[in-house]
A and B are shown apart, each in its own frame.
Chain A
C-alpha cells in the first residue's frame, strides 16, 4: 500500500503521473494555465536523468517531442488553447506518422487569447477536429487529482499501445486547484512499454506494416533499421505514395485503429445510475458540481445519477446510449456552449430529452447553476 500523500495542484498531479509513466523528454513553451507543468519538469526531469527543453514556440515544442519519440523516448508537451491551436499542424503529423506522444491542454477561455487565468472546456471540438483531414484521436479528461494521475498514465499507455498522439484535456480549475493526491508505489499501476520490432538487422523491417493484432512494432532512430517517416500518404516502408489503394488503406487504418476500439478505450465513472430518472453527463471540473447536486438530491430521495466521462474521444457513444436509455431527461453539464451535449444528442434515440447546464463566462459552474436548470426540467419553474 502506498503511503506517500501530497497536497498539490492538478498540474503537479499530471507531472507526478507522467514521471511515474516513464516520461523522459519534455518540450514546451510557457502559457497560462499550464506553465507549472513545464516549470516542475524543468527541475524533475534532469533529476531523473531525463531531458527538458523550452522551445521557441508551441509549434516547435510538439515537433521536438515527436523527434524525441522516434529515438525511443516517452514524450510529452503541455499547453493551453492558443498553444494548442498552434500545435494542430504537428498533431496531424503525429497521427499520420503514428508517433506515440502525449499532449496536455489545460483549457482556458477562448477563442484567441480569451481569458487566460479562468477555466473553460471550450477545446473539446478542437481536440477532435483541430487538425485537418479525416482522422481519429484519443482525448482523456479528469475531474480530480487522483483521476488526473490515472488518466495521465492511461494517456501514455494508450499512446504506446496504438502508436498515436493522446490528448489530455484538463481545465484551468482542475489544473490550479489544490487537493490530496495519493502516489502509488512503483509497479502498482500497469505501464505499457513501447513495442519494438523483433526483426533482426539486415532483414527487411516495415515500419508501417501492422501485425495480425493490428499493432505496429517500432524501431528506434539510431538502431539497426533505417526507414523513412513522412506526413505524406505512405506505404509500408514509410515512403511517399500516391497510389489510391495505399491512400485508402492508410486512412482507414488510422481511423479504424481507434474508432473500432471505442468501447475498449472508454473510461468513465458512474454514480447512482441504476434507477436514475435524470442522468447528468459531465466531465472535468464541471463533474464536481454535478456530483455534488446528485448526492444532495439522492439524500432527499430524488432519483438523479451522474455519468462522468473520462474518455471524450473517441466519444463513448454506446455507453452513453446505454446509461441514458431509461432516463426521462439527460442533463449535460459543461463549461462551453454544448460541445459534448451535441455528441450526447447524437448518441441517443431521443435527443429532445437532452438539456444543457453550462457557463461560458470563465466562472466555475456551481451546484446552484445546475439546480436552476433542474427546476426547469422538473417543471418547477424558474
Chain B
C-alpha cells in the first residue's frame, strides 16, 4: 500500500510548522506499518495533547486523541479489552514524561503490549516554547528567560529502570533507522519505547541558536553514535542510538488470560 493510503488526506494540511521533525517521525512510523503489512483496521493509535499528539488525527487507523499525559492509560484500556489490536502511542516529551510520567512508568512496569513513541523535541511547542523535563540545564525557553536550571533525565534509562522490555532511540536524521526500530517495537511482545529526537526549529532551535531545521538535523548526526560505539567511551556527552533493551518477559494481556483460565476453573 502506498504511504498516502495510510493518511486521512481530507484533514490535510497538517498543523505542524515548516521544518518540524514530527512529519519525519510520522513517515518512519507509516513505513514501519507498511513493511509489517498491518491492516489499518487492526491498529489503534492513542495520543495525548501537544504537537506530537496531533499525529493521530492524520492517520487512517482507529484513533483516540485523549488528554494531556494520559494516552497510555486510555491505550491500556483499549489493549487489555481487545488484545488482538495493535496499539501505538505517539507522545511528546512533556506529555509522556512530565504530566504523564506516572502513567509512563507504570505502563513500562506492567509490560503490556503497547508501542510508545516518544517524540523528544525538548520543548512544549504547542504552547509556545516553555522548557520541558527534557530541555536540560542551560537551555533558553519562554519560562526560562535566564536559562533553565531544571535538570533533565534520560528517557532510555528511565524506561529501562521501569521495566520496559524493548527500549530504543533514534533521531529524525536517521529516519530509516527510526522506521526499523519502530517496526521491531511493534513486533515486540511487551511494552516498547522508542525515543526519537525530533527538532522544533520554531521554539527550541531559534531560542537556542541551533539554526534552521536542516542544521538541527545535521546536529543529530554529530551528537549521536550507534550503541556500543568506541566514540562514546571517549566522549560521554555523545548520545547513543539503537536498541538498548530487547528481552522476553511475561506480557500483561497474556498473563491476564491465565488469570481468567484460573478463575473459571474455580
Q: Within the complex, which residue of A46, A222, A237 is in contact with B62, where a contact is CB–CB below 8 Å?
A: A222
Per-residue interface assignment for chain B, residues 63 to 85, with 1 indicating a CB less than 8 Å from any chain A CB and 0 otherwise:
11111001001111111111011
Q: Are B74 and A63 in contact (CB under 8 A)?
A: yes
Per-residue interface assignment for chain A, residues 353 to 369, with 1 indicating a CB less than 8 Å from any chain B CB and 0 otherwise:
00000000000000000
Q: Are B63 and A59 in contact (CB under 8 A)?
A: no
Per-residue interface assignment for chain B, residues 8 to 41, with 1 indicating a CB less than 8 Å from any chain A CB and 0 otherwise:
1011000000000000000000000000000011
Distance in Å: Cβ of A41 to nearest Cβ of chain B: 11
Residues on A with beta carbons closer than 8 Å to the beta carbon of B80: 25, 51, 53, 64, 68
Q: Are B77 and A90 in contact (CB under 8 A)?
A: no
Distance in Å: Cβ of B104 to nearest Cβ of chain A: 10
Distance in Å: Cβ of A169 to nearest Cβ of chain B: 23
Q: Within the complex, which residue of A47, A63, A224, A239 is in contact with B77, where a contact is CB–CB below 8 Å?
A: A63
CA–CA, A315 and B73, complex, Å: 32
Residues on B with beta carbons closer than 8 Å to the beta carbon of A84: none
CA–CA, A67 and B56, complex, Å: 15
Q: Which of A46, A60, A65 has the most CB of B within 10 A?
A: A60
Q: Is B117 an interface residue (CB 8 A)?
A: no
Q: Are A227 and B62 in contact (CB under 8 A)?
A: yes
Q: Is B266 an interface residue (CB 8 A)?
A: yes
Q: Are A63 and B66 in contact (CB under 8 A)?
A: yes
Q: Are A232 and B74 in contact (CB under 8 A)?
A: no
Residues on B with beta carbons closer than 8 Å to the beta carbon of A229: 63-65
Q: Is A231 an interface residue (CB 8 A)?
A: yes
Residues on B with beta carbons closer than 8 Å to the beta carbon of A67: 46, 64, 73-79, 81
Q: Are B73 and A60 in contact (CB under 8 A)?
A: yes
CA–CA, A65 and B74, complex, Å: 7
Classify the interface of chain A: helix, strand, loop or mixed. mixed
Q: Is A56 an interface residue (CB 8 A)?
A: yes
Q: Within the complex, which residue of A43, A60, A240 is in contact with B103, where a contact is CB–CB below 8 Å?
A: A60
Residues on B with beta carbons closer than 8 Å to the beta carbon of A240: 57, 65
Residues on A with beta carbons closer than 8 Å to the beta carbon of B262: 46
Q: Are A25 and B81 in contact (CB under 8 A)?
A: yes
The residues of A with any CB-CB pair to B shorter than 8 Å are: 25, 27, 43, 46-47, 49, 51, 53, 55-57, 59-61, 63-73, 75, 89-90, 93, 221-224, 226-232, 237, 239-240
CA–CA, A261 and B79, complex, Å: 35
CA–CA, A239 and B9, complex, Å: 12
Q: Are A89 and B67 in contact (CB under 8 A)?
A: yes
Q: Which of B62, B66, B264 has the most CB of A within 10 A?
A: B62
Residues on B with beta carbons closer than 8 Å to the beta carbon of A75: 77, 81
Q: Are B84 and A63 in contact (CB under 8 A)?
A: no
Q: Are A64 and B85 in contact (CB under 8 A)?
A: no
Q: Is B187 an interface residue (CB 8 A)?
A: no
Residues on B with beta carbons closer than 8 Å to the beta carbon of A227: 62-63
- Can you list 10 residue pairs at the A/B interface with Cβ under 8 Å? A46-B264, A56-B105, A67-B77, A70-B62, A224-B41, A228-B65, A230-B57, A231-B65, A239-B8, A240-B65
Q: Are B76 and A60 in contact (CB under 8 A)?
A: yes
Residues on A with beta carbons closer than 8 Å to the beta carbon of B63: 226-229
CA–CA, A193 and B106, complex, Å: 33
Q: Is B153 an interface residue (CB 8 A)?
A: no
CA–CA, A268 and B81, complex, Å: 35
Residues on A with beta carbons closer than 8 Å to the beta carbon of B266: 47
The residue in chain A whose Cβ has the minimal distance to the Cβ of B106 is: A56
Q: Is B97 an interface residue (CB 8 A)?
A: no
Q: Are B65 and A230 in contact (CB under 8 A)?
A: yes
Per-residue interface assignment for chain B, residues 237 to 266, with 1 indicating a CB less than 8 Å from any chain A CB and 0 otherwise:
000000000000000000010011011101
Q: Are B65 and A226 in contact (CB under 8 A)?
A: no
Q: Within the complex, which residue of B11, B42, B57, B70 is in contact with A60, where a contact is CB–CB below 8 Å?
A: B70
Distance in Å: Cβ of B110 to nearest Cβ of chain A: 9
CA–CA, A240 and B66, complex, Å: 12
CA–CA, A66 and B62, complex, Å: 14
Residues on A with beta carbons closer than 8 Å to the beta carbon of B150: none
Q: Are B78 and A228 in contact (CB under 8 A)?
A: no
Other 16 A-B pairs with CB < 8 A, given A53-B80, A221-B44: A43-B263, A47-B264, A47-B266, A53-B76, A56-B73, A56-B102, A61-B73, A66-B66, A67-B78, A67-B81, A68-B80, A70-B62, A93-B67, A221-B78, A222-B44, A239-B57
Q: Are B67 and A63 in contact (CB under 8 A)?
A: yes
Q: Are A222 and B84 in contact (CB under 8 A)?
A: yes
CA–CA, A248 and B36, complex, Å: 42
Residues on A with beta carbons closer than 8 Å to the beta carbon of B263: 43, 46-47
Q: Are A25 and B11 in contact (CB under 8 A)?
A: no
Distance in Å: Cβ of B10 to nearest Cβ of chain A: 8
Q: Are B41 and A223 in contact (CB under 8 A)?
A: yes
Q: Are B78 and A71 in contact (CB under 8 A)?
A: yes
Distance in Å: Cβ of A138 to nearest Cβ of chain B: 21
Q: Is B60 an interface residue (CB 8 A)?
A: yes
Distance in Å: Cβ of A250 to nearest Cβ of chain B: 15
Q: Within the complex, which residue of A47, A60, A93, A221 is in contact with B85, where a contact is CB–CB below 8 Å?
A: A221
Residues on A with beta carbons closer than 8 Å to the beta carbon of B74: 63-64, 66-67
CA–CA, A212 and B63, complex, Å: 26
CA–CA, A225 and B174, complex, Å: 34
CA–CA, A55 and B77, complex, Å: 10
Q: Are B70 and A59 in contact (CB under 8 A)?
A: yes
